[in-house]
Amino acid sequence: MESLFQMITNVVFNANVPLYLIALIGAWALIWWTYDNFKSVIQIIKSILTPYFQPNENKGFVEKYGKWAVITGATDGIGKQYSKELAKHGMNIVLISRTESKLIEVAKEIESMYSVKTKYVAVDFGNGKEIYEKIKEELKSMDIGVLVNNVGRMYDFPDDLDHISEELLWQIININIGAVTMMSRIFIPQMKANQRGMIVNISSGSECQPTPLMTVYASSKVYIRNFTLALRKELEEHNVQVQLVTPMFVQTKMNNYSTSVMKGSILVPDVESYTRSAVFTLGKSSQTNGYWSHGLQYGCMKLVPEFIRTCVSFRMNKKFRDEYYAQQTI
């Protein structure tokens, strides 16, 4: 039986397909394959160069989007740093998270560092539908220009699905899927009416392939990716921008289960460096990994067949689980 390659070769040459046409098809495929896999790095380079070639695009966030930014999951990690970075750019900040004492602390910190106003709303996104009326009521009279859907829930450590409690699984679904959906829906009508606005949805590199031992978490991030890309198309005619941010590993509390991740490296930046870079792409890039080394990682991962990426992620998460158990015995 002849190989698939031989069959294709016979069809091409027996049909007298011109070689230049084959070369054009190959070049076209290579260009888009490279762009799709290394899109984030290309977009970061574009972000750096845009102010030099399009000075009018270098407006401040307040001028482009409005006075207030809402950040969910705002008291730790990437959410807290987004709050600080946007305040640095002159935006007033609405902090939304679960623990009121932490919200008060972060609000005071931001107001002491920057000449901006803050407001906070204490809600637990794990509670699902019941919290959104409170958010609507608290923010109904405010001009919201930027929404950062950052809040997320991970496993405590990588593990088999049947070892994860039902309570935690519902929290992951309510927080990772419910919050990004309902928070966007709350503010879209206002942004459409104002003909301006920015929605930033924080995904994860785990969206890149099926991820054993983080099955539900990784699947929820696939939802965020597809939700964001579809929503961007819906809103572009209303001058409302939607950005997908897909970080790889960052030194945050969410990754405490792994001693190797928390050591940090050029591939695992600290949260301040990561977020500063991610906020730099705001308004300049519609889809980004947020950090140059993350863009390279993501692109290189996509060059590998999905079944291999799945096997590698399985082995990696087994290692992380072992690290977690080792910490418990100390």
Please write the tens of the pLDDT for every residue from 217-261: 999 999 999 999 999 999 999 999 999 999 999 999 989 899 999
pTM, rounded to two decimals: 0.86
- The DSSP secondary-structure symbol of 270 reads B
- Tell me the pLDDT tens digit for each residue of 67-97: 999 999 999 999 999 999 999 999 999 999 9
Compute the residue count for the chain: 330
**Locate tokens 């419910």: which residue?**
178
N-to-C CA span, the chain: 60
pLDDT of residue 287: 92
Taking each helix axis from N to C end, the angle separating 39-53 and 19-37, rounded to the nearest 10 degrees, works out to 80
Of the candidate ranges 168-172, 211-215, 229-233, 323-327, the one whose mean pLDDT is the lowest: 323-327
List Cβ neighbours of 49 (8 Å cut-off, separation of 6 or more). none
**Which amino acid makes up residue 106?**
V
How many other CB atoms are found less than 10 A from the CB of residue 159? 17
At residue 180, does pLDDT exceed 50?
yes
Count, in order, helices (H) and strands (E) of the chain.
14, 7
Active site residue 217: yes
Where do the structural domains in the chain lie, given as residue ranges?
A: 41-47+58-328
| Residue 135: C-alpha distances to residues 17, 66, 71, 122 (Å) | 62, 19, 12, 9
List Cβ neighbours of 178 (8 Å cut-off, separation of 6 or more). 125, 128, 129
Nearest to 83 by CA among 68, 63, 100: 68
How many other CB atoms are found less than 10 A from the CB of residue 245? 30
Active-site choice (217, 257, 298, 324): 217
Domain 41-47+58-328: state its class. alpha beta
